Amino acid sequence: MSQELATRYPLVLVPGMLGFVRLLLYPYWYGIIPALRRGGAQVFAVQVSSLNSSEVRGEQLLARIQQILDSTGASRVNLIGHSQGALTARYAAAKRPDWVASVTSVAGPNHGSELADYLQRYSPAQSLRGRLLSALLRGIAALMSLMETGYRGPRLPVDVHASHQSLTTEGVALFNRQYPQGLPETWGGQGAPEVNGVRYYSWSGILQPGKTDRGFNLLDGSNRSCRLFARTFVREAGQCDGMVGRYSSHLGQVIGDDYPLDHFDIVNQSLGLVGKGAEPIRLFLEQARRLKAAGL
């Protein structure tokens, strides 16, 4: 087996909101984990609460990291978080920098999501629309829990309101005041590449007419959802992946922020049906090479 991607520390993949390890036979990180393992990487996909605050999810992640360190004999891990998984990973790194070698944010709402802000304005928690949305999300989370075959741990708590608040601009601003590691000092800039011995990286995509709405995305309903969600963006109108803005995603060393990828394409969803010319798996392989070259 090739050792090209054999990083010093294990790779731990952290899913976003409504994330999972595997639903029946279907993985969240579609095609990504096998590609990394073929290159010699040691990879763990973890499960945290599908709907909850970034802090609660972060504590769950810390418990899982401890298990991984104990089982592998490794002294640290490299965290790669998608969407809210990036905030979850940032929390864990801030709390236990001695356990974490790096944090990579993949389309992470590191300054909040304008979609979450829109839902807060037009579907507040106590309104009829808000209650219906909350019930729908709880139902989806319950169904996903029944279908989950990649996680065999205790039942994880669900809190729809805490999950939503954790993704709003206001909610993330509060989070950032407590856990600022790797954040840019100026909007659209890059953050400190290393804080407390932890390396920080990020990449993200944007909807690009003629690319993200072409190729196999013509068959992917999630892309149409992202194009619809993108209409809620004001500050980063035309500069978002449907759920997270281009500059809101910045953390540490920004590898790229304008890949032709929507919010689901970036983790090779759904079923690898991505836009024209998009290569999301390549980005993960390149990051593993980058981490290995940095001695991580």
Which pLDDT score is estimated for 124? 84
| Chain mean pLDDT for the chain | 96
The per-residue pLDDT for 288 is: 98
Give me the CATH topology for the region 11-293: Rossmann fold (3.40.50)
Measured CA to CA, the distance from residue 278 to residue 211 in angstroms comes to: 8
Q: pLDDT class for 283, splitting at 50, 70, 90?
A: very high
Confidence at 8, pLDDT banded by 50, 70, 90: very high
Predicted pLDDT at 53: 97
Mean pLDDT for 208-212 is: 95
Hey, where are the domains in the chain?
11-293
Tell me if residue 263 is catalytic.
Answer: yes
113 vs 126: which has the higher pLDDT: 113
270 is catalytic: no
Catalytic residue among 49, 83, 102, 204: 83
Residue 52 clears pLDDT 90, i.e. is over it: yes
pLDDT band of 123, cuts 50, 70, 90: confident
Task: Give tens-digit pLDDT for 79-114.
Answer: 999 999 999 999 999 999 999 999 999 999 999 999
Res. 47: pLDDT tops 80: yes
The three-point CA angle 94-97-101 to 5° equals 120
**What integer pLDDT is reported at residue 125 of this predicted model?**
81
pLDDT at position 2 is: 83
Q: Name the percent of the chain lying above pLDDT 70.
A: 100
Active-site residue (options: 117, 241, 257, 262): 241
User: Is 222 a known active-site residue?
Assistant: no
Calculate mean pLDDT across residues 224-244.
96
